[in-house]
Chains A and B, each alone.
Chain A
Amino acid sequence: MSKNIILYAAILVFGITAPFIFPAFKVQLSILCVLIVLATTWNIQGGEMGYNSFGNILFYGLGMYLCASVQVGMFFPLAEWTESGGEKTFVHTPAQFFQGMAVGLVVAAVVPTIVAGLIGYSILGLRGHYFAICTLGLGVAAGEISGGIEIIGAGQGFTTPPFPNVGNLESRGEFFYYLSFLVLILTFIAVRGIYSTRFKLILNAIRDNEDKAEAMGIETMKYKIVGWMISAFFCGLAGGIMGGLVGYIDSTDVAFDGREMGVFMVLMAILGGKGTLWGPIIGATVFHIFKEGFWTFFLGWQYVALGVLIVVIVIYFPEGIMGWLREKYPQKFGEVIDEKDRKAQVELK
């Protein structure tokens, strides 16, 4: 236990000091935080509950649009803002910007949660293929439809309010970094809390055998919906922050980017190991480092590399890093292995 506290303290200290140690990578670190949040929350219903969704991008994009719309709409007419392409006709004062951001983030977290509840009631009864393709359809449909709505910029995109002139040049990066780091910590605490309760066991029961869980008297539908709503809550928050960080929202390339972010969150969780607390975190970190480090080598070919990477990970590495570690060092995971039995197995091999 004390080892864990040291680990957490080390990560916390690293997280707080990181923007000063690596000032050039502030934006990358913020994106990493968002990616970890997405992967961890995907893991709640993808890994623990066994409902593999491609549609969490829906809540992410929804949060992004809502946060930016609220931030603008609280002070200025939204339609004129999007029409002018965010030119300098309207300028947020610092107080307006931060108030708008705060209210926007709350809205961006709450509305997707409600949407998840409503959608979840209708589609969480589907299983296997049907659920996966249905959520894929939801994500793409949201992208296509939001690309046709005029008030949020339609095809030409939506510029989020620029960061106001406070502090020095570095303060924009620092603000978004600490915001995303805060959300990351909140997510981690929440997820860790969830994983130590009966709720997680119920989710696992649903994953392992839903009919049996139901026969044991668990109202599976209720738990599935709550699980999805938790995912949606943090996805919405992450989307809101990412919108401000990127500064520009496009319906199919940034917000409902099923081809990129929607696959990334699944891939990161699988790379790290589905159904573990640390798996998605490690997976997201490794993936982000790989992506940023090697993307420049594949300049122009990065999506080809992404396609190959997905196929390779899925075929040869479906257990993920945590699964591999668990197989290699079972003792570390609290699994007791009979020495004689293991030797016999090795000899058999």
Chain B
Amino acid sequence: MISVQACLDGILLGILFALIAYGMALQWGVMNIINIAQGDLVILGGYIAYFMYLYGIHPAWGVIVSPIIMYFVGIAIYKLVINKVVDRDLFISILATFGISILFMQLMNFAFGADVVLANSDYGTTMLFNSNVVLPNSKIFSAFISILFAICLVIYMKKSKLGRAIRATAQNARAAKILGVDTEKVYAATFGINAALCGVAGALISITFTIHPYMGLPYTIRSFMIVIVAGLGNLPGVAMSGMGLGVFEEFADYILGTEFRIGSVFLLLVLILVYRRFKLSRKREYLK
């Protein structure tokens, strides 16, 4: 029974991861930037929901408010920093977003304190299989909302004018520019949408799990891992590998103990990359 519990928990958690990873895949594909601050945007979104909870508003409304605020935060970050590193060396963008990540981490630490907090949603729990499996309703709610947002975004990307411009820029930025797409605006919108997705995910995380200013980096690493396993622009793949990661984490938590949970995520990333390297490496031979 414990493994059924872990599987279900992991799948519900993994859907959330997949939502964050989708944002990362979007900006990676369009702007060729890996945003180390992704996880910190998530946590910031979570704090917005938490604050609404503190002021007596039901935190579930954070799902609507937090992406709106985060969209503008994302645009602001783009205007201040990212637009200067878009065309530069890859490492420069990683380091710049690393700086943003440290900045956000500390600002959140000052503003909200270093306590582990959660926004209590009072949704109760659902019992399955003779009360052997306990699922908090908030987790089911969060998975449902994530799927809803993901579907909306996919339709938006397919149908709307901006969505088409974003996809065109991802395919070939220069050609898109020649054909009259304002790539600067597209980049800003992409970053904003990514931040908004992080906001949704953050609000859901603050309801279902806990948030803490320093918890951002694991979310970045998770979404990076999901994207490299699934590949860019492969949405079903992102969803599947997100759930897979969620299940892996729950089992690692159960088998190795909670203190190794984050460590196992990071190790899994290294192992996946090593596997990738040996799988993709060509057979090199040298003349002696």
Interface residues of A (CB under 8 A from B): 52, 54, 122-123, 125-126, 128-130, 132-134, 136-138, 140-141, 144-145, 147-148, 155, 214, 217, 219, 221, 259, 263, 266, 270, 300-301, 303-304, 306-311, 314-315, 318
Q: Specify which chain B residues have a CB less than 8 angstroms from the CB of A140 in the assembled complex.
A: 217, 221, 262, 266
Name A's interface SS: helix
B284 near A145 with CB under 8 A, answer no
Q: Which of B2-10, B90-98, B159-167 contacts A (4 or more CB under 8 A)?
A: B90-98
CB nearest to A318 among chain B residues: B92
A71 to B286 CA separation, bound complex (whole angstroms)? 44
Q: If A304-B107, A310-B99, A314-B85 touch, does A133 touch B269 (CB 8 Å cutoff)?
A: yes
A214 to B34 CA separation, bound complex (whole angstroms)? 28
Q: If A122-B277, A125-B277, A307-B106 touch, does A314 touch B270 (CB 8 Å cutoff)?
A: no
- B114: interface (CB < 8 Å): no
Instruction: Give which listed residue, B84, B259, B277, B278, contacts A315 with CB less than 8 A.
Output: B84
- B153: interface (CB < 8 Å): no
Q: How many residues of B contact A (CB 8 A)?
A: 46
Q: Top 5 closest A-B pairs, CB basis?
A: A307-B103, A310-B99, A144-B263, A141-B266, A307-B102
A314 to B92 CA separation, bound complex (whole angstroms)? 6
CB nearest to A309 among chain B residues: B99
A144 to B268 CA separation, bound complex (whole angstroms)? 13
B99 near A134 with CB under 8 A, answer no
CB nearest to B37 among chain A residues: A307
A126 near B277 with CB under 8 A, answer yes
Shortest C-beta distance, A189 to chain B (Å), equals: 29
Interface residues of B (CB under 8 A from A): 34, 36, 81, 84-85, 88-92, 94-96, 98-107, 110, 217, 221, 224, 228, 257, 259-260, 262-263, 266-267, 269-270, 273-274, 276-278, 281, 284, 286-287
Q: Specify which chain B residues have a CB less than 8 angstroms from the CB of A307 in the assembled complex.
A: 99-106
Most chain-A CB neighbours within 10 Å: which of B94, B100, B104, B276? B94
A123 near B106 with CB under 8 A, answer no
B260 near A145 with CB under 8 A, answer yes
Q: Specify which chain B residues have a CB less than 8 angstroms from the CB of A311 in the assembled complex.
A: 81, 96, 99-100, 103
5 CB-based A-B contacts, threshold 8 Å: A122-B277, A138-B270, A219-B286, A263-B98, A311-B103
CB nearest to B262 among chain A residues: A144
Q: If A138-B266, A147-B259, A311-B96 touch, does A306 touch B90 (CB 8 Å cutoff)?
A: no
A133 near B103 with CB under 8 A, answer no
User: Beyond the given A132-B90, A148-B263, could you list 7 further A-B residue pairs with CB under 8 A, ordered by the A residue number?
Assistant: A130-B276, A132-B94, A148-B260, A307-B103, A315-B84, A315-B92, A318-B88
Q: Specify which chain A residues have a CB less than 8 angstroms from the CB of B259 in the assembled complex.
A: 144, 147-148, 155
Most chain-A CB neighbours within 10 Å: which of B96, B102, B267, B274? B102
A130 near B228 with CB under 8 A, answer yes
B274 near A123 with CB under 8 A, answer yes
Q: If A141-B266, A141-B267, A145-B267 touch, does A130 touch B273 (CB 8 Å cutoff)?
A: yes
A145 to B90 CA separation, bound complex (whole angstroms)? 29
CB nearest to A258 among chain B residues: B217
Instruction: Give which listed residue, B102, B224, B278, contacts A306 with CB less than 8 A.
Output: B102
Q: If A122-B274, A125-B277, A259-B102 touch, does A133 touch B96 (CB 8 Å cutoff)?
A: no
Shortest C-beta distance, A151 to chain B (Å), equals: 15
